[in-house]
Amino acid sequence: MSVPTVVVHRDADILAKAVAARIITRLVDVQSAKGTASLVLTGGTIGIATLAAIAGTPARDAVDWRRLDIWWGDERFLPDGDPERNETGARRALLDHVDVDPERVHVMLGPDSGLTAEESADAYATELAKAARPEDHGPSPSFDVTLLGMGPDAHVASLFPGMPALYDTRPVVAVHGAPKPPPTRISLTLPALQASREVWVIAAGAEKAGAVRLALSESGPVQVPAAGARGRSRTLFLLDRTAAGKIPPGLGRLASP
Ligand SMILES: O=C1O[C@H](COP(=O)(O)O)[C@@H](O)[C@H](O)[C@H]1O
């Protein structure tokens, strides 16, 4: 697993725009190197703001959206179209504005599908397994880029501190009793997230500063799930100044002063 690199931007707005530019560049690079790319989306405030920033820049046209597989790191177990679903936020912010291939948009199904949360997680695991190649050496693909927002409690995806999902070795699980509503969710697990080539944690706001500090320390991922957010080749912590407020001096690079 890779050691995190920290990049700090002036504020949340600049952070979202900078991460958007970074995503576009990375997807273009990956598509030119191997034809297709895969991107794991996150929900949350800065995650959705980043998707809106991609939609808002003309550079988005440099990406071949039809040659992109889109996955989610987690989903709130709510019906299709519910405004609280991460999918709904992503569609409104970006996916409705670019020419994605609907077959390559891999959503986590909600209760309106007739599935229980466990069955929905199993269905997603099956979809991941279908997409995994022998060179991935595991039950899920080596995603090119996985975006993760982070809560003030250091949760990433729907992996909340101390919860059983953090011990699970399956790629995707149902989560019950999440401390942040809604209580029922579907989440990739740490092994699936850590199979990503690149993991980018995005955080803005002073309320995230303590969690950022812990995520960059030697903390264990059961207490501090974001401490387990690491990619195989690269891990980025992309922060605004307030979220970076408690990291040890010298660790972060101030990119947009
Ligand atoms: O519930 C969730 O929260 C986190 C972070 O959200 P934020 O609003 O504090 O930025 C998000 O990363 C996760 O995907 C989502 O389901």
Listed in sequence order, the residues at least 6 apart from 163 whose beta carbon sits closer than 8 Å to its beta carbon are 175, 177, 178
Angle (CA) 93 22 228, round 5°: 90
Residue found by looking up tokens 């405004």 in the block: 83
What CA–CA distances, in Å, run from 220 to 217, 229, 235?
Answer: 9, 11, 17
Q: How remote is the CA of residue 97 from the centroid of ligand 1, in Å?
A: 22
- Give nearest CA residue, ligand 1 atom 6: 44
Average pLDDT, whole number, for the chain? Answer: 96
Structure tokens at 253: 């690079």
pLDDT in tens, 103-146: 999 999 999 999 999 999 999 999 999 999 989 898 999 999 99
Residue found by looking up tokens 């595991």 in the block: 138
One DSSP character per residue, the chain reads -PPEEEEEESSHHHHHHHHHHHHHHHHHHHHHHHS-EEEEE--SHHHHHHHHHHHTSGGGGGS-GGGEEEEESEEES--TT-TTSHHHHHHHHTGGGS---GGGB-PPP-GGGT--HHHHHHHHHHHHHHH--GGG-SSS---SEEEE---TT--BTTB-TT-GGGG--SSEEEE-S-SSSSS-EEEE-HHHHHTSSEEEEEE-SGGGHHHHHHHTTT--TTT-GGGG---SSEEEEEEETTTTTTSPTTSEEEEE-
0.80 exceeded by pTM: yes
**For residue 153, which phi and psi values (nearest 5 degrees)?**
-90, 10
Judge contact between 57 and 92, C-beta under 8 A: no
- Give nearest CA residue, ligand 1 atom 2: 44
Decide the pairing of beta strands 185-188 and 74-76.
Answer: antiparallel
Residue found by looking up tokens 């599908």 in the block: 113
**Which residues form the pocket of ligand 1, taking CB atoms under 6 Å from any ligand atom?**
42-47, 74, 76, 86, 149, 151, 157-158, 180
Domains of the chain with bracketed CATH: 21-199+211-251 (3.40.50.1360)
Judge contact between 111 and 80, C-beta under 8 A: no
pLDDT in tens, 197-238: 999 999 999 999 999 999 999 899 999 999 999 999 999 999
pLDDT in tens, 16-52: 999 999 999 999 999 999 999 999 999 999 999 999 9
Q: How remote is the CA of residue 88 from the centroid of ligand 1, in Å?
A: 14
Q: How remote is the CA of residue 36 from the centroid of ligand 1, in Å?
A: 27
Q: Is the ipTM above a cut-off of 0.95?
A: yes
pLDDT at position 171 over 80 = yes
| Amino acid at residue number 89 | G
Q: How far apart are CA 68 and CA 233, in angstroms?
A: 20
Pocket test for ligand 1, best of 75, 76, 147, 180 (most atoms within 8 A of CB): 180
Is residue 97 very low, low, confident or very high in pLDDT (cuts 50, 70, 90)? very high
**For residue 6, which phi and psi values (nearest 5 degrees)?**
-110, 130
Angle (CA) 222 240 59, round 5°: 110
